[in-house]
Homo-oligomer: A and B are copies of this chain.
Amino acid sequence: MNLIARRKDEQQETTTVRVGDVIIGGPQVVVIAGPCAIESYEQLLSTALEVQRLGATMLRGGAYKPRTSPYSFRGKGIGGLEMLSQIKALTGLPVVTEVMDARDIERIGEVADMFQIGSRNMQNYTLLTEVGKTKHPVLLKRGLASTLEEWIYAAEYIMAEGNDQVVLCERGIRTFETYTRNTVDITAIPALKELTHLPVFLDPSHGTGKWSLVSPVALAGIAAGADGLMIEVHPQPELALSDGDQSLNFEHFAELMEKVKPVAVVVGRQLSPE
């Protein structure tokens, strides 16, 4: 079938997605960093300033968190959005945050420069259709057990509504292996480059579930051709309200950025904007 998302031929250029001043899908390898969940103004601010200093050009932070249990911490909601808004104004970093409910799109869209659709909602067609009606860029994460084909069709739900600003984000699939939280499908990166013209990101934090594995897998992603990385960073991962095990502290994030730089260069990319 003739999908909008499908690459027509080898010559077709990768779509570039603009988020504020940041261009995804161009020569720059874009690093989005920040906490899994926004916990406090101080936590978000200190993280934002530090990841910006170290070369991240976009900020992530969850205000609405999808959690397996209804009794887990589900994010600070509107309060979290307000912090995001203030810290965005302060740092100038464009922000991406998850939208889980179509009814929140307008409110979140006032703050967020990019919507994130999480794994659990990759086939939430209401949500896909509604973000498709906005002009906001969308970071579309892969479903836990979604094939590449199904993922591309999910992007098509957004694009069919007129929004072509879609970035695909590999975040690991579910397999029998239990040592890691998920199994990063590294081959998905070049495979999606063949199958679509959309930029492709990697989230090694959710992909591995263990901070010590984030850095080597992040480098692997860049080497395989990813257009960017999404990294969870927390001032004190051991105190994080969610995903502490897979969050880098500032020191480890600094080390990662040092390593990303030359790998980006040898595959013909760069870490800083042109």
Seen from chain A, the residues whose Cβ lies within 8 Å of a Cβ on chain B are: 1, 66, 68-71, 100-103, 120-121, 123-126, 144-145, 147-150, 153, 156-157, 160, 173-180, 183-187, 189-191, 194-195, 207-208, 210, 212-213, 216-217, 219-225, 259, 262-263, 265-267
CB distance from A70 to the nearest CB of B (A): 5
A191 to B215: give the CA distance in the assembly, Å.
12
Other A-B contacts than A68-B153, A179-B191, A259-B266, 18 sampled, CB-CB below 8 A, are: A66-B125, A68-B149, A69-B153, A69-B156, A70-B160, A102-B103, A102-B126, A120-B124, A121-B123, A173-B175, A175-B185, A180-B187, A186-B217, A190-B217, A219-B267, A223-B263, A259-B267, A263-B267
What B residues does A160 contact at CB under 8 A? 70-71
Q: Known contacts A124-B120, A126-B101, A223-B220; is A68 also within 8 Å of B150 by CB? A: yes
A194 with B220, Cβ < 8 A, contacts A66-B125, A147-B176, A262-B266 known: no
CB distance from A205 to the nearest CB of B (A): 12
Would you call A220 and B212 a contact (CB within 8 A)?
no
Q: Are B212 and A216 in contact (CB under 8 A)?
A: no
Q: What's the least CB distance linking A63 to chain B, in Å?
A: 14
Which of B69, B174, B187, B267 sits near A145, CB closer than 8 Å? B174
Tell me the complex Cα distance, A262–B219, Å: 14
| Given known contacts A1-B71, A124-B124, A145-B145, A190 and B213 CB-to-CB distance under 8 angstroms | yes
Could you tell me if A187 and B207 are in contact, using CB atoms closer than 8 angstroms? Answer: yes
Please give me the 8 A-B residue pairs with the lowest Cβ-Cβ distance, nearest first: A145-B145, A223-B223, A220-B220, A120-B123, A190-B216, A186-B186, A220-B224, A219-B223
With A69-B1, A153-B70 as contacts: A179 and B147 at CB distance below 8 Å: yes
Known: A124-B120, A217-B224, A220-B223. A177 touches B148 (CB 8 A): yes
Select A216's contact among B147, B148, B223, beta carbons within 8 Å: B223
